[in-house]
Amino acid sequence: MTRVDFYLLPVAEPHGKLSFACRLAEKAFRDGRQVHVHASDAGEAAAIDALLWSFRDTAFVPHRRIDASGTEPAPVLIGWGEELSGHHDVLINLTQEVPPLFGRFDRVAEIVLDDPTLRAASRERWRFYKERGYPLAHHDLQHLRGGAPDDV
């Protein structure tokens, strides 16, 4: 059954969410997992795509957008809307809604910014998963600066 982890970040700006998503993707990639990053729209997909190239000088996370030309395999794929990859390991959700077909993934990472409106939306997603019996974990990362948790 899919495990769902909620990561509460100590920042409110969208760039913080994207930076943390990059660190999660890097950690999962280093652990040999395949990742699907589920963006809100094409603009957010382009932003995470660009950031994955530059978020850390020592990191290389092979990735591509699903809508990009070519079909070369990549351990990290980026999509939005109904576009989902063939990956089934880790889904990083950047949206404020439960992603389509989330249940086919082993893990779902929900990233929550420190903003009252966004927290309310995350509580709705938590309730959705809980009512359906999915195992949930909450990670309050108020103390975390620059790293990724060990349990991705």
**Domain residue spans in the chain?**
3-140
Range in 13-22, 48-57, 74-83, 99-108 the model is least confident about: 74-83
Token duo for residue 1: 């059954």
User: 3-140 domain in CATH 3.40.50.10110?
Assistant: yes
pLDDT of residue 9: 96
pLDDT digits over 38-84, tens only?
999 999 999 999 999 988 888 889 999 988 776 778 999 999 987 66
Q: What is the mean pLDDT of residues 19-33?
A: 96
Burial, 59: exposed, middle or buried (Cβ in 10 Å; 0-12, 13-18, 19+)? Answer: middle
Q: What is the mean pLDDT of residues 82-108?
A: 88
User: How high is the mean pLDDT of the chain?
Assistant: 90
Neighbouring CB atoms inside 10 A of 112's CB total: 23
How much of the chain exceeds pLDDT 70, in percent? 91
pLDDT of residue 145: 55
pLDDT of 148 > 80? The answer is no
Collect all residues with Cβ–Cβ distance below 8 Å to 5 and sequence separation of at least 6: 107, 108, 109, 110, 136, 137, 138, 139, 151, 152
Contact present, 25 and 38 (Cβ < 8 Å): no
